[in-house]
A and B are shown apart, each in its own frame.
Chain A
Amino acid sequence: MLDSIVFVFENMPLLLKGALVAVEITVLSILLGMVVGLLVAILRLYGPKPIQKFMKLYEWVLRGLPILVILFIIYFGLPSVGLNIPAFISAVLGLGLRSSAYQAQIYRGAIQSIGVEQVEAGLSIGMNRTKTMLYVIVPQAIRLSLPGFTNEFTIVLKDSPLAYALGIAELLKQGRNIIVTSFKPFTIYLTCAIIYFLLFHFFYYLFRKIAEKYEVPGYIMSKKS
């Protein structure tokens, strides 16, 4: 038992280095997913008809593919059409675009949940449509989408080990490298699990605090849930 604890601490720097890579991949993917997702959500709601249809298709296809397949297509498939993307960027693109499909749904749901009356109210006091969107709808929508966003963030975090398949030295891969020379799968996988869980816990708590701070008063009651 004591041996195992000493062993884990000896290897901790490597595992933490891997954990940092996992967080990097997650944060970059989520940001990419956020930018693309917001765009998709807005275009799907307010874009011209053909674009709306296309955005629906985009969400539908990306939601229907296993993430590993997406990653392999980007990393191993695209070079045959002349697009050779490094592993780290491939992982961020794959996880980010997949997340954008889910985030688009979160944002669309949030925008739609704000009543038409508010748009009418905005227009009635002389704001145009863009201004109404920008100053009335979007600020509320962002706050409403925080709980869903938190969930999506933790999902991407937990999918980040798949980057291992592209040879990226994130937490799980570092763990496996240690197992190869030490042959202690249980100790190392358990340590990886604990680190992933602590990361999950940290980010979940952080976003929950933010969500509570910025909740729309009288709209949702996250504190009691």
Chain B
Amino acid sequence: MNKTLLKVGIVVVSLFLVFSLFSCGQKEKKVLKVGTNAEYPPFEFKENDQFKGIDMELAQLIADKLNMELKIHDMDFDSLIPALNANKVDVAMAAITITEDRKEQVAFSIPYYSVDQAIIAPEGTDIEINEEGDLTEYTIGAQNGTTGQIYIDKNYVSENKMKKNQLKKYPTNIEAITDMLNGNIDLVILDTSAAKGYKEMKPISTVYTIKTGEKYGVAMPKNSPLKEKIDTALKEILKSDQWTNILNKYIK
């Protein structure tokens, strides 16, 4: 009696487990899968388990224009381009700067936002950066894979103007800024837009701005069928009041 019950129990449990695995893989029609790295306020972050930020609201607007259902996949920033190429997501929106190197691997939409690189230090610091070359005297932190990190790597570390250990790479800006405030590094390089967001949370100040004039774009796999539709949608959105409202909401 007991054994029969046990056997039935085992069968029921294993069936349930098998089906629960299958249900994970079900796909619905017309879903726009957007990859992001929700650790980058004010562009993308999570609040009360909801995706928020400029990119996230823009993604919703694009999905509406394309008449698709928005589904957001949160992952590491480093993983976004591999995820596009592995077709895990349709597009990636994570304050991604359009660069030549990235263009070799993915396609970009028209630009939707423009930033420079900010060099930040703890508030009340005596560090003074009068020209870019002064950076070589300090240790700098950056989020791995960002244009800030690549900029320092390319222009200073590879040119032997800085030692390798003067550039410390972190999974996100949070770790970089925390480490700076703990006194382990002198400066952090990040997008001006992100620096503004963090200033409201932590005692930091911008000591120098490198005018890079970078542009953010929506990344997608090469030959993506969505490219034209997204460009058209973006052109309409960028002209609209909705876009101005979103920017005003997140960046003061």
**Which residues of the partner chain B approach A28 to less than 8 Å between Cβ atoms?**
17, 21
Q: What residue of chain B has the Cβ atom nearest to residue A13's Cβ?
A: B49
Is the pair B75, A14 in contact by a Cβ cutoff of 8 Å?
no
What 1/0 mask marks residues of chain B from 69 to 85 whose CB sits below 8 Å from any chain A CB? 00001111001001100
**Which residues of the partner chain A approach B39 to less than 8 Å between Cβ atoms?**
176-177, 180
Q: What residue of chain B has the Cβ atom nearest to residue A77's Cβ?
A: B86
* A4 to B: closest C-beta gap in Å: 16
Q: What residue of chain A has the Cβ atom nearest to residue B25's Cβ?
A: A86
Is the pair B88, A79 in contact by a Cβ cutoff of 8 Å?
yes
Is the pair B79, A180 in contact by a Cβ cutoff of 8 Å?
no
**Which residues of the partner chain A approach B25 to less than 8 Å between Cβ atoms?**
85-86, 89
How many chain A residues touch B (CB < 8 A): the figure is 29
Is the pair B21, A89 in contact by a Cβ cutoff of 8 Å?
yes
Complex Cα–Cα for A28 and B20 (A):
10
What 1/0 mask marks residues of chain B from 199 to 223 whose CB sits below 8 Å from any chain A CB? 0011000000000000000000000
Check: B48 CB closer than 8 A to any chain A CB.
yes
Instruction: List residues of chain A with CB under 8 Å of any chain B CB.
Output: 14, 17, 28, 31, 75-76, 79-80, 84-89, 92, 165-167, 169, 173, 176-183, 185
Chain A facing B: main interface SS: helix
What are 10 inter-chain pairs, A to B, with CB distance below 8 A? A14-B48, A75-B86, A75-B88, A76-B86, A86-B24, A86-B25, A166-B79, A167-B79, A179-B174, A180-B172
* A184 to B: closest C-beta gap in Å: 10
Instruction: List residues of chain B with CB under 8 Å of any chain A CB.
Output: 17, 21, 24-25, 38-41, 45-49, 73-76, 79, 82-83, 86-88, 172, 174, 178, 201-202
* A161 to B: closest C-beta gap in Å: 13
* A130 to B: closest C-beta gap in Å: 18
Q: What residue of chain B has the Cβ atom nearest to residue A178's Cβ?
A: B46
Is the pair B41, A165 in contact by a Cβ cutoff of 8 Å?
no
**Which residues of the partner chain B approach A75 to less than 8 Å between Cβ atoms?**
86, 88
Is the pair A180, B87 in contact by a Cβ cutoff of 8 Å?
no
Is the pair A185, B174 in contact by a Cβ cutoff of 8 Å?
yes
Complex Cα–Cα for A173 and B174 (A):
14
**Which residues of the partner chain B approach A87 to less than 8 Å between Cβ atoms?**
73, 88
Complex Cα–Cα for A84 and B17 (A):
20
Complex Cα–Cα for A75 and B79 (A):
11
**Which residues of the partner chain A approach B178 to less than 8 Å between Cβ atoms?**
183, 185
Complex Cα–Cα for A173 and B74 (A):
10
Given contacts A14-B49, A92-B21, contact A180 B41 (CB under 8 A): yes
4 closest A-B pairs by CB: A167-B75, A79-B86, A177-B46, A180-B39
